[in-house]
A and B are shown apart, each in its own frame.
Chain A
Amino acid sequence: GAGVSQSPSNKVTEKGKDVELRCDPISGHTALYWYRQSLGQGLEFLIYFQGNSAPDKSGLPSDRFSAERTGGSVSTLTIQRTQQEDSAVYLCASRGGGAVQETQYFGPGTRLLVL
């Protein structure tokens, strides 16, 4: 009965470096989301995966951000050439399939600090 897990829990990097953030959704959940939350701000949608459909990337702030989901399970969010404004908590959420399964379950997040 494991929930959504994310790694690393904290990441400090230097400006210009690339980072990879990982999300393990709840087993069997077909939908996976990435959000970003800056200090004192709401959740900013980044990208959404649903089953085998093409992901909805409409929330990605720039082409430095990309994400993939392998085998319909684990997802990796990659930020290239990090900037200080990328510092935030990156949250992953998963959801069971079907119209009635609308509850999103969030992981603990990865706190990214770009120096």
Chain B
Amino acid sequence: QKEVEQNSGPLSVPEGAIASLNCTYSDRGSQSFFWYRQYSGKSPELIMSIYSNGDKEDGRFTAQLNKASQYVSLLIRDSQPSDSATYLCAVKGPGGSYIPTFGRGTSLIVHP
């Protein structure tokens, strides 16, 4: 059973702070990792994907992957109230069938 674990939160941070969201996964052979943002009542949208160990930066977002420890994290710098949403971690294992496993998501609240 492939599992992807996230702290459900809510994680509350002040505006301008760094928000750190974490995700652990059980399948050691996992190859692809994704972070989706889901606003309340809306559908998920991809914000970051990462495939190799280390950091990947895109604007205010940085994804960090550590395959040895089986965790992936998302850092949001200079958090804004508009970043308030649920962040879903998704993990895809190796092989030809592309069905990622989603975590339950972490709720982030950025307060002014």
Contacts and interface: CB of A to CB of B under 8 A. Distances in A.
Interface of A: 31, 33, 35, 41-43, 45, 48, 50, 56, 91, 95, 102-109
B104 A42 contact: yes
Interface of B: 32, 34, 42-46, 49, 88, 92, 97-105
A102 B97 CA distance: 12
13 contacts: A35-B102, A43-B88, A45-B101, A48-B99, A50-B97, A50-B98, A91-B43, A102-B92, A102-B98, A103-B46, A106-B43, A106-B44, A108-B42
B43 A42 contact: no
Contact of B32 (A41, A42, A45, A102): A102
A102 B44 contact: no
B44 A42 contact: no
Contact of B43 (A45, A103, A109): A109
Contacts of A107: 43
Name the residue in A33, A42, A48 with the highest tally of chain B Cβ atoms < 10 Å from its Cβ: A42
Given A91-B43, A102-B49, A107-B43, A45 B92 contact: no
Given A102-B32, A108-B42, A31 B98 contact: yes
